[in-house]
Chains A and B, each alone.
Chain A
Amino acid sequence: MFDPLQYEFFVRGLIVATLVGALCGLIGVYIVLRRMAYIGHGLSHAVFGGAVVSYVIDLNFFIGASVWGFLSAMLINLTTRKRSIGADAAIGIITTASFALGIALISRTKTATRSFDAALFGNILGVEQSDMYAIAAVTLATFATVIIGYKYLLFTTFEPDVAGFYGVPTGWIDALFALILAATIVVSIQVLGVTMIASAIVIPPVVARLLTNDFGKMMGLSVLIGAFCGLGGIYLSYFVNAASGATVVLFSAALFVVALAYNTARDRIAVMRGKARLHAGSVIAADDSHIGD
């Protein structure tokens, strides 16, 4: 049971996956509630383009990819404000173009192919100490930002148009959110890979939403579920001998199925109880109707 813990690289992988899970779970709440679930998937592809460009122009990966991701997120926000273009279409166009740019550059730089495989599919067990520090720093900064900006983020997510009338600087909030989202995706790529990030961002908040109607509780639950999925998925990957990123996603998906089943059962029981109460009421009413006889 505790065999994998004797390997230092595995313990590091566990810590990193837990942090990334919690981080994606936190950010994911806003993504899911803004009905922009596709942005996690899209932006990770856009960041991939940024990563390749950074490599080609010999720029630090974290800086290059973060700036690229931030600009892509802002561009999506700006495009979405044009009412004739929906968020889904804006994400599709901008992120795919960025991803395509990355692929085009790779095809011209054949030697880079192997390391970019890791970016596409994740390589959690190859995470280095410096990656761990970067993930920890982004996690801390994101949690601090979300706690400080809690009420602004809540209003902007709930009613983006109305929040501005009440004095919320929505433009700045959107920019700040784009920045932390880009940073989250950049540090998560190493762990989960471009192709798997979307699930880490979407599944924990969706599971949390199935369990609560309260925004604060949803955030707390989503963070815990994300961390649990990261930890559980990586741990499981050792025993099933499968790719770490894929195992995390499958573990999360299984948890979603359980939560959905619980939510459905809870709703059905509530309906049955309601019917039973109505039935009991009509029986009492029928009994009462004899009183005057």
Chain B
Amino acid sequence: MLHPSPHQYEHHEPVVELRSVTCGYGGVAVVEHADLKIARGDFVGLLGPSGSGKTTLLKSILGAADVYEGEVLVNGRSIKDKRPTIGYVPQLETIDWEFPVTVEQVVMMGLIRKNHFFPWFRQEERDHAYSIMERLGIAEFGKRHIRQLSGGQQQRAFLARALVSDPSLLLLDEPTSGVDIKTRDEVMHLLDELNHQDITILLTTHEINAVAAHLPWVVCMNGRIVAEGPPSDVFTPEVLKETYNAEIHITEYQGMKLVAESPHYFGRNDRQNHEHETVAGD
């Protein structure tokens, strides 16, 4: 587990609060009647199948999805009253990697909210951006084109942009999607470090075993919030069936609940089938 679960908002107001929120786009509700509280210092994963409303829920907090019912509050204030300062990291798969921008230019974009009046960025802002890049280990790549970075470095560049405005809340849309195992671990450990520096993190993920199982708190979604809690409580066949509309088996490894993959033999692999029959015959 990356971080012990605080998830205590008895003494503080929640950083994010969704009060019976129904949200979507163009008049079509994607998420219905969602109630959710995220406390300061939480590290929460939104889990669910494609189209379950994970990204829409994230966007409702950003004020980018239409909220038809209920209310979204960030730091106790409705997002309708004031757009909150939130660090957002989009899915890397949505980035146009051919776009001619350097790492420095991407990171500086995160400062726009803090510098509305000058057409250019001031030296102290540039220094601040580089201090964040230094913290994330990408300062030396500032002048490089974004395509010239490795997957992990690219994720760090977009994280740096999200962090440069010093937000206390970080939202990430599938931060480990489409990256290799090493990069995924690198990204998750980096997020864990940031969480220990008092940044509240909410991310969406498809990966139950590799990501969600290691988080202190998960929220299972399927057009609504099915269940929430520590993975050890939430990962039950009943909850996952309701979330994924499929039979999912649970196994335990070193005290951690994981999803067990049923063995399948696809294609016309005679050797595999033969071995399977032999084992069955033994």
Contact = CB atoms under 8 A, between A and B. Distances in A.
A151 B83 CA distance: 20
Contacts of A215: 99-102, 105
Contacts of B101: 154, 158, 214-215
A174 B63 CA distance: 19
Interface centre among B62, B86, B99 (most CB of A within 10 A): B99
Interface stretch (A20-28, A101-109, A162-170, A188-196): A162-170
A165 B94 CA distance: 15
Contact of A33 (B100, B116, B120, B121): B100
A170 to B, nearest CB: 11
Interface residue SS majority, chain A = helix
A213 B145 CA distance: 6
A274 to B, nearest CB: 14
Interface in B87-143: 88, 90, 94-96, 99-102, 105-106, 108-110, 112-113, 116, 119-121
B64 interface: yes
Contacts of B105: 154, 215
Contacts of B165: 166
A151 B121 contact: yes
Interface stretch (A51-59, A70-78, A142-150, A241-249): A142-150
B86 A154 contact: no
Interface residue SS majority, chain B = loop
Given A147-B119, A150-B120, A159 B100 contact: no
B88 A165 contact: yes
B109 A165 contact: no
Contacts of A147: 119
A209 interface: yes
A148 B112 contact: no
Contact of A166 (B99, B110, B120): B110
Given A33-B100, A215-B100, A148 B64 contact: no
A166 B163 CA distance: 12
Contact of B109 (A164, A166, A213): A166
Interface in B236-266: none
B119 A164 contact: no
Contacts of A163: 109
A49 to B, nearest CB: 30
A33 B101 CA distance: 11
B175 to A, nearest CB: 14
Contacts of B121: 151
Contacts of A154: 101, 105, 109
B109 A158 contact: yes
A212 B100 contact: yes
A38 interface: no
Contacts of A161: 64, 90
Contact of B86 (A33, A164, A165): A165
Interface in A275-291: none
Given A33-B100, A159-B95, A213-B145, A166 B112 contact: yes
A167 B113 contact: yes
Contacts of B94: 159
Contact of B112 (A152, A209, A213): A152
15 contacts: A150-B119, A151-B119, A154-B101, A154-B105, A158-B99, A159-B90, A161-B90, A164-B64, A165-B62, A165-B64, A165-B88, A166-B112, A166-B165, A209-B100, A218-B100
Shortest 5 CB-CB contacts between residues of A and residues of B: A167-B113, A213-B145, A148-B119, A165-B62, A155-B109
Interface of A: 33, 147-152, 154-155, 157-159, 161-168, 209, 212-215, 218
Given A158-B106, A214-B102, A215-B99, 20 more contacts: A33-B99, A151-B112, A154-B109, A155-B109, A158-B96, A159-B90, A161-B90, A162-B90, A163-B109, A165-B63, A165-B86, A166-B113, A166-B165, A167-B113, A168-B112, A213-B100, A213-B102, A213-B145, A214-B100, A214-B101
